[in-house]
Structure 1
Amino acid sequence: MTKGRHRIATVLSIALLASGCALTPAATEPVMVEHIRTRAGFAHAEINGSETADRIDWWADLGGSGLSEAVARLRTHNFDLIEARERVVQAELRAVQARGGRFPSAGADLGAAYGRAPVPPAGFEWDDSYSLGLTASFNTDIFGQLRARERSARLGSSAARLNYVATEQQLIAILAQSWVNAASLQRRLELAIEIAESYRVTYTLTDQRYDTGSRNTAASDVQIARQNLEAALADIPDLETQLAAQLIQIDLLLARPAGQTAQYFESDLSVDRQMIIPAGLPADLLMDRPDVAAAALSYQAALEDIGAARADLFPGLTLTTALSFQGDEPGDVVDFDDLLANLAASLTQPVFQGGRLRAEVQIQESEAAALSSAFARAALTALTDVETALVQQSGLIRQLEQLDAALRSAEISNQIAQDRYRQGLIPLLSVLETQRSLNAARLNIILTEQALILARIDLHQSLGGRWFDDAEERQSIAGEVP
């Protein structure tokens, strides 16, 4: 008995010493991430300060209350978000399972038997018996494989929460883009109706002049004016179809039957051409972008999986104990005079696994290398997204300035042409040409303002930003793991 206790004490001492061994490799920051972290600013930002814009509910500044109500519904009803929330629940439960593996396990069994036993010389009697057994076992986790798996599961849970936030950001951006596209189509539809009306006025005037025998108006002029009117009218059904299809896509995002958005949708776009969103610093992306943060956590979790796989190569110590009670009556079962107890320690060492365990280590090392690359790619993609959105925003603002000048010139030219045509001083083709130039200028402004708003949506999404009301909420979402 003394020798057995000495052996157990020796094994426990080894376990205490081995628990300080770190088999999990230290995280090495990818070169690209380090480069982004040390950048002084964005190459195309007009403001390269360290302060970032308040980006909570940014969509309210673009689409008004209608878009805000749609975003609120999306957050609670969108099917992709519901699935993402369940994936978070699953990841959190896997972390609970991993943590549970570090605690002792216990079990109990209760038995009853009734049978016939022989009684010499030739008789027998009926007898009953009852038993109660209690067992417990504990994996001492000498080399920390259970702790590594728990840390990996907790990191995976945190990554799942961040991926949920990234999914929510992406869906809100998609909804905002769809809303802007629908509003722009509605503006284009209104413009098409105005254009058709202007061509109707021109056609009516031309037809009247021809009927009165004006020498400057021929039958061909009437036909040309009619052709332009009919072409303008033909644009309206196409735009109505595009608008209806876009509104149906919004209904899909909001998880409701088609047609509901169309009942209340109104164009309410806010285009502030002078608004420049501070981009902050590239290093902010590593904290603000949930997809980048999730990639970093997945990489760290893979390193913990390496530690667990390495620990499986070493001995494992399991302590077990068993208590057994037996009695002839139910009330006599728990009788410590008849207690049978057993305490055992088992030390297992993999001897031959056909290379399975070492291959598992190599698999986990390869997975960590892949996730390190994915982390670097996510960081570079975030930086590229911001730079692209900044370039687009700057270029579109300059383009709108030129379009404004072109629109003013087209309006003046069209007014002069209309006046001169009414006076019979210029032919119909001249006034139609100025009308086409004016209509093209108005349409270009609508399309360019649409592109500017979409670029700002891209910029909001690419920056990640403060999508939470305070630091505590961000901390709870990130689920920091020591």
Structure 2
Amino acid sequence: MLRRTALLVALLLGGCTVGTPAAPELGAIVADPRERFVAAEPADAAPIVDAWWTRFEDPLLSEYVERAGVHNPSILQAVARVEQARAQARVARADLYPQISGRFNASRQRQNLAGLGFSEILPTAPGGGTPDGGGEDEVASFVTDSFSLNANVSWELDLWGRISAQSAAARADFLASAENLRAVRQSIAAQVARSYFNLVEARQQVEVSRAMVAALAEIARQVGNRVDVGVAAPGDKALAFANLDQARAGLSQRREAVERATRGFDALIRAYPDGEVATADALPEIPPPPPAGLPAGLLARRPDIRAARLNLIAAGYREAAAERALLPGINLTGSAGTSSSELSNLLDGNFFVWSIAGAILQPIFQGGRLRAQVEAAEGRQAEAVEAYAETVLQALSEVETALAVEEELATRQLALGAAAEAAESAVAISFNRYLAGLDPFITVLQSQQTALDASSAYLAARRARMENRIDLHLALGGGFEDAAPAPTQPEPLPQ
């Protein structure tokens, strides 16, 4: 008998165990997975840098990123979602424990004897009517009071781990929301850095355009003087001032871009969009590239991959819960307290009452509802598997792309820098040749436009390289040092 009892207990405890659903490894997602990133340096496997924005050595940028990390509305919304998921996990976990409630009942009831099977009526008073003054006979009745004070207990035994699986799924949702918060913080940091460098570049573009307007104004003045004294053709003066007006329009357009970029940046750092944003005067030098680490390291480092994995784990737990809903359940209920017709007796132990009951429920026929719920859970798990694979593939693609284009962007920046210097020299040469009567004035105009375009393209190339460096840091999963990594799976559940 003792042996059979021990075996039954072991079976019941074993039924409460909930295994963690497994996520596919990198080799199951990508054909021919690589041990290192193809576009990375062979020995480039150092730890990923946190607070990567400090590598640009711009104190203003660091200040703005840290400010946005505290005040940005998207981050605060993500924080609120984490708190909601935390509360939902506590709600789901509460189902594992007995539910206890207290209850106080008070009632008064009037019953008549006729309703109890008697036909007695009240006697008729002298002169007609009933004793209470009514004009007709009344049926005899009585009033009773009832008071009770109870503590009620209900508990569904988690024999097969269904409730444990639901609790584990809710906890996985909570952990996924925490990872999504980390992802939002990293994304906002990248947005702030991109917007900051975009604003710095826009202001530099204004300075380039302003310098060009000043130069064209001087050229137009000199050409106008030459035309006035009859040395140059009248058309040259018209062309010079037309080119000057076109440059002024370009300057106005670049100032408009600065205004838009400034107010967009204000929104990121939750500041009033007054257009007053302090920035560096020029784009900083490109810092050395960060270590890329290993492809497999992304699975444990990037918050979006960790969140997708936790979503997959939650889907697996919910599938297990749906399958175990087909099995019988045991509910225990109990009640203890006092009951009396007098309120003063509720604390008297002589009026103590209690009850205890148990029920076994086995679903037999529900129109296919439970089977359909299992199929729906299986479908959601299959969807979560592919969502996880898609997130991993996107992460690998982002890293490889950022690494691969780095050299091309550096080459383009170098070439455009040389082109801008050559174009500046060409402006002076062409104007001197025009003054000497060797070249037409249209050559001067072309060299001026080439110089403006080359300088503008050089600044845009530098900013593009900055943005690619930001994208690389974001793709590698770099982030805030104070963001403690969340566990990648729910904690073991109580047996």
Fold match by TM threshold 0.5: yes
Alignment identity in percent?
29
1:238 equivalent in alignment to 2:242: no
Q: Which residue of 1 aligns with 2:333?
A: 320
Kindly report which structure 2 residues correspond to 1:55-454, keeping only aligned pairs within 5 A, or say none.
Answer: 55-56=50-51, 58-62=52-56, 64-113=58-107, 129-214=146-231, 217-258=232-273, 260=274, 262-273=275-286, 275-327=288-340, 329-421=342-434, 426-454=439-467
> In 1, distance between residues paired with 2:207 and 2:436?
30
Q: Which sits farther off after the overlay, 112-121 or 230-239?
A: 112-121
> In 1, distance between residues paired with 2:89 and 2:340?
42
- Compared CA separation, residues 387 and 154, structure 1 to 2 (3 A): same
Q: Give the TM-score taking structure 2 as reference length.
A: 0.85
CA shift digits 1:114-148 (9 cap, x unpaired): 57799999899877553212211111111011111
> In 1, distance between residues paired with 2:54 and 2:468?
16
2:22 is aligned with what amino acid? A
CA shift digits 1:264-308 (9 cap, x unpaired): 333445433462222111112112211110000000111110111
> In 1, distance between residues paired with 2:481 and 2:278?
28
> In 2, distance between residues paired with 1:115 and 1:433?
104
- Compared CA separation, residues 154 and 137, structure 1 to 2 (3 A): same
Quick check: 1:132–1:326 contact (8 Å CA) kept in 2? yes
- Structure 1 segments unaligned to the other structure (5+ residues): 1-5
How far 1:189 moved relative to its partner? 1.1
How far 1:201 moved relative to its partner? 1.2
> In 1, distance between residues paired with 2:66 and 2:411?
34
- Compared CA separation, residues 345 and 205, structure 1 to 2 (3 A): same
- Compared CA separation, residues 240 and 15, structure 1 to 2 (3 A): farther
Q: Which residue of 2 aligns with 1:474?
A: 485
Quick check: 1:186–1:267 contact (8 Å CA) kept in 2? no
> In 1, distance between residues paired with 2:296 and 2:76?
31
2:449 is aligned with what amino acid? R
Quick check: 2:201–2:283 contact (8 Å CA) kept in 1? no
How far 1:251 moved relative to its partner? 2.6
Q: Which sits farther off after the overlay, 32-41 or 349-358?
A: 32-41
2:364 is aligned with what amino acid? V
2:245 is aligned with what amino acid? E
How far 1:47 moved relative to its partner? 5.5
> In 2, distance between residues paired with 1:115 and 1:23?
51
Counting matched residue pairs gives 467
How far 1:34 moved relative to its partner? 5.7
Quick check: 1:19–1:142 contact (8 Å CA) kept in 2? yes
> In 1, distance between residues paired with 2:214 and 2:255?
17
> In 1, distance between residues paired with 2:143 and 2:35?
90
Quick check: 2:72–2:268 contact (8 Å CA) kept in 1? yes
How far 1:311 moved relative to its partner? 1.0
> In 2, distance between residues paired with 1:429 and 1:113?
104
How far 1:397 moved relative to its partner? 0.4
SS of 1:264's partner is coil
SS of 2:36's partner is coil
> Greater share of helix residues, 1 or 2?
1
- Compared CA separation, residues 420 and 31, structure 1 to 2 (3 A): closer
Quick check: 1:48–1:280 contact (8 Å CA) kept in 2? no
> In 1, distance between residues paired with 2:207 and 2:20?
63
Quick check: 2:27–2:33 contact (8 Å CA) kept in 1? no
- Compared CA separation, residues 115 and 153, structure 1 to 2 (3 A): closer
How far 1:368 moved relative to its partner? 0.6
- Structure 2 segments unaligned to the other structure (5+ residues): 114-119, 123-139
SS of 2:401's partner is helix
- Compared CA separation, residues 316 and 13, structure 1 to 2 (3 A): farther
SS of 2:174's partner is helix
Q: Which sits farther off after the overlay, 46-55 or 456-465?
A: 46-55
> In 2, distance between residues paired with 1:195 and 1:388?
36
CA shift digits 1:381-420 (9 cap, x unpaired): 0010111112222211011122233233333333433444
CA shift digits 1:144-179 (9 cap, x unpaired): 111111110000000011111112222222232222
Q: Which sits farther off after the overlay, 197-206 or 176-185?
A: 176-185
Q: Which has the larger radius of gyration?
A: 2
- Compared CA separation, residues 10 and 115, structure 1 to 2 (3 A): farther
SS of 2:363's partner is coil
> In 1, distance between residues paired with 2:112 and 2:225?
127
